[in-house]
Amino acid sequence: MTPIRWIAAVLALLGPSAAVAAPCPAALIDQLDGLYRWQLDRQDKPGPIVIASQRSRFTPGLYSLLHQAYALTPEQGRFVDFDVFSGTQVGTFGAEVLGCKEGPAGTVVARVAVQTGLPGRNPVPPKQLRYLMEPSQEAGWRIADIVYPEEPTFRLSSYLRQLLSPSP
């Protein structure tokens, strides 16, 4: 598939609102590109996910939730059972920031197309995630939440809070 056909296919999947998204600030794109470089490098390494090296990419609140959740183990009966940066249980092959829109209270919502799948299989259409980004004096932009395309809306922060404080 040519790059133009691929972009057209992605935009068709994302719906009409994706086509009107504005360009994102360069520092915001750098944050997300850096996260996915780390994601591609770490996903094939055995062992627990060590999120500490990515701390500066997240707001303190989201980092705390991620850090606590990644410390859980299946033996405890609770653990993160999907890849939060792809919204799937398969590998990530790449990600592209498609555009941004203003969010509430100075935040920006970045639309990110994440290519996922299984090695050796036909590629599946990219999964679109929305990253809620907050401006930061120290880091330029920080990830405050991730919204997945499921219906009803599925948010990373809500999932992590439920995982860490299950109802009896």
- Can you give the pTM of this predicted structure? 0.83
More confidently predicted of 138 and 162:
162
Identify the structural domains of the chain with CATH numbers, from first to last: 3-164 (3.10.450)
131 Cβ neighbours under 8 A, 6+ residues apart = 32, 109, 110, 112, 143, 145, 146, 147
Q: Distance between CA atoms of 2 and 69, rounded to whole angstroms?
A: 40
Find, among 39, 52, 125, 124, the residue nearest to 86 by Cα: 39
- Residue 64's pLDDT is 97
Tens of pLDDT, residues 61-114: 999 999 999 999 888 889 999 999 999 988 899 999 999 999 989 999 999 999
